[in-house]
Amino acid sequence: MVLTKQKTIQIGLLGAGVVGSGIIKSLLNHPLIKIKKIGVKGLNKKRDWGDSVGNSRDCSLQTTTNLTEIVTDPEIQIIVEALGGLNPARDLVTLAIKNKKHIVTANKDLIATYGPELFDLARENNVQIQFEASVCGGIPIINTLKQTLNANKFSKIMGIMNGTTNYILTEMLSKNLNFNDCLNEAQKLGYAEPDPTSDVSGKDAAYKIAILSSIAFHERIKINEVYTEGIEKITLLDILTAEELGYRLKLIALSKKEDDGKIDVRVHPAFIKQTNPLASVLGVNNGVLVEGDLVGELTLIGRGAGQSPTTSSVIGDLNLLAAQLSYSREPHPQFVCHHTEYAKIKPMKDTVNCYFLRLKTEDKPGVVGQIGTIFGSHDVSINAFTQRGINHDDTASITMLTHKVKEEKIQNAITELKKANSIKQVENLIRVLE
C-alpha cells in the first residue's frame, strides 16, 4: 500500500476569547491544520498567543473584524465557531455552510436551538458539523454515542451537565453555606458568570440534554419543550435532609425513552441515591450516565467547561475532519444527521416520580391528619414523615417523602395544601429519582 502525504487544512476561527485563544495556542505547531484568519471584535488589542506548553511568541496570524470575509474565503475549508450565543453565530455558520465549509463549534445554544436547520443545510451542501465541545467540555460524550456505542439502543441519559451549579451545591454541602454565599464565591473564582442566570436556572443544562437526547434517540428535540427548573430555591436544609435520608441533591438533566415512544426529557434539582455514580461528581466537574441495551450502564466524569477541556474537544473534532479530508471530501456517514422527525415529548404532568416535600405549618393537633387527608384524596402515598421542630414564629417544620406518583397528582395536592389555613407555606418540592 502506498501512503500519500496528508494535505494541510486551512481553517478560519471566529472569536478569540477564552475558548478561541486556547484553540490558537494548541494549533500553532499542528502539522496538518493551519489557521489562515481569525475573526476578532477589534484590531487594536495587543495579542500574544503562546503555544500549548506556554512558550510566548509574537503572533503573526492574520486577524480581521470582517467575519463574513472569513466564512466566504475560498481557501478555508473549516470554520471554527467560538463566538458563543445565537447571533451572529447562526448567520455566520449558515453562510459558511452555503460556501461549502465544514463547521466545528462549541456552541450548545446554537446547536440546541438551530441545529435542525443547520444540519439540514449541511447535508444539502455535503459538509458536516462537529460539535463535541458543545456538551460537557472535555468529556467525549457526543462521539462516544455516535461511534463507540452506536450498536446500542439507549434507554436513558442522566447527567450533571453544569459545573457552576454543581460547584454551588458541593460547597453548600461541604461548608454548610447558603446558596447566595456559594454563588458569590463561584463568581469570584470565575466558575460563575457575572450574570449566572443561564446556569442556575437550568437553561444551560437543558441545551445539553436536548443535544444528547437527539443523538441517542434519533429524533429532534424542541428546546422549548424541555422542562427546566433551576436551583434558586434550594436551601442548606434541603441538602442536609437529602444526606440524612441517604440521598444527594444535584441538578440533574434526564432523558428517558418511554414504552409509548415518547421522550421524558427534563432538567431539575433531584435527590439521587448516594450510591449513584453521579453522587460522587463534585465541584465543577460534570458527569454523564448512559444506559444502553448492550453496554449496560456507563458513566463518564470529567471537566465540563473551561479553556483547556473545551479546546481538547475542539481540536479532537478538527483532527477527525483533517484526517477525513485527506482522503475524501464526502462526509463520514456517522457524522451526518440523518433523522428529521421531531420527538413526542412526554408532558411533565404525566411523569411519575417520588417527591420530597418541605412544609411550614401551624403547630397544633390535627395538622398531620389534614395533610394525610389531602394527599389521600389525590392518591399521594406518604413514605416517610418527619416533624423537625418548632420555629421562632411558633410554626412547625415538616418534611416528607412520597411513594411514586404522577406529577399532576402531587401538584394538585400542593394546590389544595396551599389553601388550607393550617399550612403556612409549601417551602419546596424536589423530585426523588430512584
Q: Is the dihedral of CA 74, 77, 83, 87 positive or negative?
A: positive
Q: Which of 101, 208, 250, 256 is catalytic?
A: 208
> Has 208 been annotated as catalytic?
yes
CB atoms within 10 A of CB 294: 8
CB 59 within 8 A of CB 48: yes
Among 289, 410, 293, 269, CA closest to 351: 410
Would you name the residues annotated as active-site residues? 208
